Amino acid sequence: MSVTASLWVIVLLIGCSAFLAMAELAMASARSVKLRQLADEGDARAQSVLAVQAAPGSYFTVVQIGQNMVAILGGVVGDGAFSPTFERWLAPLLSVSAASAVALVASVLLVTSLFILLADLIPKRVALAEPEALALRLLAPMRVLMWLLHPVVRVFNGLANALVRLFGLPDQRDDRVTSGDILALTEAGTQAGALNAPEQRVIENVFELDTRTVESAMTTRNRIVHLLEGDGEDIIRARIAEQPHSTYLVCRETIDHVLGYVDATDLFARVLRGEAITLKGDAAAGLIQRVLMVPDRLTLSEMLKQFREAHEDFAVIVNEYSLVVGVITLNDVMSTVMGTLVAPHDDEAQIVQRGDGSWLMDGLTPIGDVLRAIDADPAELPQRGQYDTLAGFLMVMLRRIPRRTDAVVFAGARFEVLDVDNAKVDQVLVTRDAASATASEQLSK
């Protein structure tokens, strides 16, 4: 074969190898979610690609047979095409045997370099850039090859399937989309500018509804504004004027004996009609409504279900001893989801970052928000599930009620208690520096 003919054969082989490389990587990288969207829009090719992804054995067998054949032919043809030329160039400089050996090595290096660059690297980069489009376009010619090589493919497939079963290897592609996959996509979308950071945060919050308990979003017991059954009208009016809310608990003697709740609009309607406001006896009929009671270990997702089933938007949270620990509204849950889209940071924010990079955190800050602020892995939390707030985390780490100046090091951050009010952790200073990071690493060891 002449040198010119050999060169054309090598060009053809490189083209075949590039085609097979693109076909292989495009099929492997094509996203099933996008392909299903195309299939739903009526693209029959997308449905065919999904079918191949579900049973890719024959497809990839053809690719491997083709690539190995091309590699062998490329080595044979390349040696015959370039070795004589290199040998002639080297003859004046080296002995005959040395020139022949060097020419062979140079020929192999040249052919290998051409195949690596033109038949592997560039085609695979193109396939990674547009996997779905290439998978759709290359499926038809690949089907022709699968038909032509069907007998050989059947033999190799049978052997491969037998070995897979023998060693217990997986033979089906897992296309299940997990919450981690979705969160990774949203993070990539935020980095690419397709999503704003607050929008990404909303999506993350939705997935956290199944892990965050009602205690992370409730109004705590000490902050509940409630009315007593025996309160007079003057007391009720004064309390409503001083602490206006849309809903008020009504209790008998103590907050742990809940009778129900009253709506501020119902009280206002009675005032407009000139009727007396009382929470006792028959005069309170129709004013006090039955309240929804829920346990304190419910997740926010379960709380939404309770609201939906009870047709309520207000609930009292009790612990295992039937003591009231807080109240929660539908707005509390939705504010947890929407985050800064509906509740921008202000002076009362639970986490405030200071100019030096440290944070001031409220003791009731949900532990998930704390971990996001310091960029820590939730899997590293000690005794996960036993607490929902920063204060609870500090109690678990210290094994006692925190006191002022108490400090804990975790995930490269130092948590120092600044203020405690009657055993309640009010404010924590969180700093991050090389010293605390080193201490955290030593603690983990």
R_g over Cα of the chain: 35
- 318 and 270 part of one domain: yes
Q: Which amino acid is at 202?
A: V
Residue 406 corresponds to which tokens in the numbers above?
């108490």
- 319 and 411 part of one domain: no
**Angle 399-403-409 from CA coordinates, rounded to 5°:** 60
Query: Kind of pairing, strands 324-329 and 258-263?
Result: unpaired
For residues 18-44, give the mean pLDDT.
Answer: 88
- 308 and 353 part of one domain: no
Helix (H) or strand (E) holding 438: helix 434-444
Cα-based torsion angle of the residue sequence 378, 380, 382, 385 in order, rounded to the nearest 10 degrees: 30
What is the residue-averaged pLDDT of the chain?
Answer: 83
**CATH number, domain with residue 428:** 3.30.465.10
Residue 438 has pLDDT above 60, yes or no: no
Is residue 341 very low, low, confident or very high in pLDDT (cuts 50, 70, 90)? Answer: low
Residue 6 has pLDDT above 80, yes or no: no
**CATH number, domain with residue 289:** 3.10.580.10
- 196 and 254 part of one domain: no
Distance CA 362, CA 370 (A): 10
pLDDT value for 443:
41
- 122 and 231 part of one domain: no
- 187 and 84 part of one domain: no
Residue 173 maps to a domain? no
Residue 291 maps to a domain? yes
For residues 18-40, give the mean pLDDT.
Answer: 88
Specify the long-range contacts of residues 402-410, CB closer than 8 Å, at least 24 apart: 409/436, 409/439, 409/440, 409/443, 410/376, 410/380, 410/440, 410/443
Question: What does the pLDDT look like over 193-202, one tens digit per residue?
Answer: 878 877 888 8
- 8 and 91 part of one domain: yes
DSSP 305: H
Query: Kind of pairing, strands 424-432 and 407-410?
Result: unpaired
For residues 231-254, give the mean pLDDT.
Answer: 89
- Rounded to whole angstroms, what are the CA distances from 16 to 11, 20, 63, 69? 9, 6, 10, 10
pLDDT value for 175:
64
pLDDT value for 444:
41
Residue 420 maps to a domain? yes
Indicate the residue among 337, 356, 381 that finishes a domain.
Answer: 337
Residue 172 maps to a domain? no
Specify the long-range contacts of residues 271-278, CB closer than 8 Å, at least 24 apart: 276/233, 277/233, 277/236, 277/237, 278/233
Question: What does the pLDDT look like over 376-401, one tens digit per residue?
Answer: 887 788 887 778 888 889 998 999 99
- 10 and 77 part of one domain: yes
What sign does the CA torsion over 163, 168, 172, 178 have?
negative
- Whether 23 and 63 have beta carbons less than 8 Å apart is answered as yes
Residue 274 maps to a domain? yes
Residue 24 has pLDDT above 80, yes or no: yes
Residue 384 maps to a domain? yes
Question: What does the pLDDT look like over 39-81, one tens digit per residue?
Answer: 888 888 888 888 888 878 788 888 888 888 888 887 777 666 6
Helix (H) or strand (E) holding 115: helix 96-116
pLDDT value for 327:
93
pLDDT value for 293:
93
Question: What does the pLDDT look like over 159-207, one tens digit per residue?
Answer: 887 888 888 877 666 667 777 777 778 888 888 887 887 788 888 888 8
Helix (H) or strand (E) holding 141: helix 131-148
Residue 174 maps to a domain? no
Residue 335 has pLDDT above 50, yes or no: yes
Indicate the residue among 304, 337, 370 that finishes a domain.
Answer: 337
Indicate the residue among 109, 134, 167 that finishes a domain.
Answer: 167
For residues 221-244, give the mean pLDDT.
Answer: 88
- 323 and 381 part of one domain: no
- 314 and 369 part of one domain: no
pLDDT value for 348:
55
Residue 420 has pLDDT above 60, yes or no: yes
- 291 and 399 part of one domain: no
Is residue 119 very low, low, confident or very high in pLDDT (cuts 50, 70, 90)? Answer: confident
- 132 and 230 part of one domain: no
For residues 362-386, give the mean pLDDT.
Answer: 82
- Picking from 240, 239, 236, 258, the residue whose alpha carbon sits closest to that of residue 249 is 258
Is the pTM higher than 0.75? Answer: no
**Angle 133-134-135 from CA coordinates, rounded to 5°:** 95
**What is the CA 358 to chain-centroid distance, rounded?**
26
Domain of 46, in residue numbers: 3-167
Is residue 436 very low, low, confident or very high in pLDDT (cuts 50, 70, 90)? Answer: very low
pLDDT value for 297:
86
- Of the chain, the percentage scoring pLDDT greater than 70 comes to 91
How many structural domains compose the chain? 4
